[in-house]
Amino acid sequence: MRRRNDSVSSDRPFVLTADCRGRRLLTAVDAAAEAVGLSSGMALADARALAPDVMVEPDDLVATEALLSRLADWCGRYTPWTAVEGQDGVWLDIAGCAHLFGGEAAVMSDLLARIRGFGFAARAALAPTPGSAWACARFAGQSVIIEEGETRDAIAALPIAGLRLEPEIAASLSRLGLRRIGDLYPLPRATVVARFGDVAARRLDEALGRVAEPISPRRPVAPFRNRLAFAEAIGHADDIARGLERLLVDLSADLARASRGGRRFELTFFRVDGSFQEIAIGTARATRDPAHLACLFQEELVTVDPGFGIETMVLAAAVTEKQAPEQAVMQGTRTETEEGIGALLDRLGNRLGFGRLHRLQAFESHLPDRAQRLAGDNLVGDGASIPELRHRPRLNRRPIRLLVDPEAMTPMTPEERDGSPPAMFRWRGRVHQLRRTDGPERISPEWWRQDRNWAGGARDYWRIEDAEGRRLWLFREGGGVEESCWFVHGIFA
């Protein structure tokens, strides 16, 4: 792929250059430059010797890399398996995808037509191996499709540089008369390795399919993915919503067949101008309910800019979990209650961020400070995630709100000899007068732990109600009545 500059006259060669290892090399050339023998990787001094009137401009490698990255992401409309190759290429693994576009020839034709429409000069090659596709795309002179079993003959006449060798190795091979890839076929592998190292032999094996050459995708490939292409570009919000509903129904069916549910869903819009936009939602628990997912996407759809029109929509379940089929239940059961809580958490999580939502889970400890802890990713929870506690305190004896740190209170009357709370005390600048008391409940620290909050030993907890109806949870800490200190630890209502 090369960038085309329409402001430059096609009569004069035009090239882009960049510094590499202390030398000024050509990074891209136009058709006029190719006609006079210039090519990428050539030294600028050599290029000026062949074409004195060549027009030179510096290449912005950072901008080129960003451009290729966006182009590789845009190619996700054809296949999720895309990656950037060097400074002028993009890998596409279309295995299992070509039939969606009418076959391999239709994929290549549509791809080249769109890229050229964006203002690029491009060639493509479709081959059984990445190495042979790379060689044909750059040296075959035209876009080609190589069928299975034709790789050896298809690349035999291509230059030795088609094996993606270092310039020094390619030059050494050329000096020995090995200028074509086919010239290496009759040579013993041991001889090639001994003379030029294992790089040349390995590249040849990769091109011929003797050695596997995996391509790492630019983005993680979603396990479940559905695509919807439109005969004409759409832009109205209602059309986009209907397209999403159709994708959700199809994706839900795929997830149901695999007994899976999604935790993160990504929706990508590919516009006619070559740009794309992506929105995503998350869920508190695995789900595949199309109606619920459509509600979550509704708030994100308002941010979608259709531009000159959307021609393709792709919906992917990026994160999935095992979800067994659920039997229908009657209204008012625990399952329906959990589903309602899950739907609420999904809406809050997508609006505020799931990192800001927390769920408290019962924990095996008789200390009120440790009786609960933050749960993991599953905000809703299930029966298996709630441990069966052997020492579960009576819930009606615990306050609704537990203070992070107990707050000291100031007795205004002496406490009773039996250890009961003082009849009057001051807390948070307000005087409280006791009306009712209930207790005590003695709680001792866990001897096997070192806890600064429970350094004072055992505590006697009291539930009290003051004259104005406020209900507090107090405790006394200390040895005798004269040495004790009183604190407020919780609020009931």
Q: Tens of pLDDT along 229-286? A: 999 999 999 999 999 999 999 999 999 999 999 999 999 999 999 899 999 999 888 8
Strands 55-58, 14-20: parallel, antiparallel or unpaired by DSSP?
Answer: parallel
Closest CA relative to residue 284, chosen from 377, 388, 416? 377
- Of these ranges, 59-63, 144-148, 323-327, 396-400, the one predicted with the greatest mean pLDDT is 144-148
Q: DSSP E strands: which ranges in 123-235?
A: 125-126, 144-145, 224-234
Could you please state the CATH topology (level 3) that the domain comprising 127-221 is classified under: DNA polymerase; domain 1 (1.10.150)
What percent of the chain is modeled with pLDDT above 70?
Answer: 88
27-65 pLDDT, tens digit per residue, is: 888 888 888 888 888 888 889 999 889 999 888 888 888
Let me know: does 224 contact 255? Beta carbons within 8 Å.
yes
Structure tokens at 95: 């295995």
Is the preceding peptide bond at 440 cis, omega within 30 degrees of 0? yes
pLDDT given at position 372: 74
Token representation of residue 455: 């350094």
Other beta carbons within 10 angstroms of residue 276's beta carbon come to 18
Name residue 93's amino acid.
Answer: D
DSSP helix, strand, coil percent of the chain (3-state; round to 5): 35, 30, 40
Token pair for 307: 């531009």
Contacts of 29 (CB under 8 A, 6+ apart): 2, 13, 14, 15, 16, 38, 39, 40
CA-atom Rg of the chain in angstroms: 35
CATH of 224-322, one of 3.30.1490.100, 1.10.10.10, 3.40.50.1360, 3.20.20.70: 3.30.1490.100
Any residues with CB less than 8 A from the CB of 452 and at least 6 apart, and which? none
Q: State the average pLDDT over residues 116-135.
A: 91
100 burial level (CB within 10 Å; 0-12, 13-18, 19+): middle
**Cβ count near 246 (within 10 Å):** 14
Q: pLDDT higher for 484 or 475?
A: 475
Q: Which residue from 484, 459, 458, 489 is spatially nearest to 473, judged by alpha carbons?
A: 489
In this predicted structure, the answer to whether residue 130 has a pLDDT above a threshold of 50 is yes
Tell me which architecture the domain covering 2-59 has in CATH. 3-Layer(aba) Sandwich (3.40)
What is the spatial distance between Cα 307 and Cα 234, in angstroms, rounded to a whole number? 10
**Quick count: other Cβ atoms within 10 Å of Cβ 146?**
21
| Same fold for the pair 2-59 and 224-322 | no
pLDDT reading at 381 higher than 50: yes
Q: What is the mean pLDDT of residues 15-28?
A: 83
So where are the chain's domains?
2-59, 127-221, 224-322, 358-391, 395-491
Measure the CA–CA gap between 356 and 404, rounded to whole angstroms.
19
State the pLDDT confidence band at 480, using cuts at 50, 70 and 90: low
Distance of alpha carbon 144 from alpha carbon 251, whole angstroms? 35
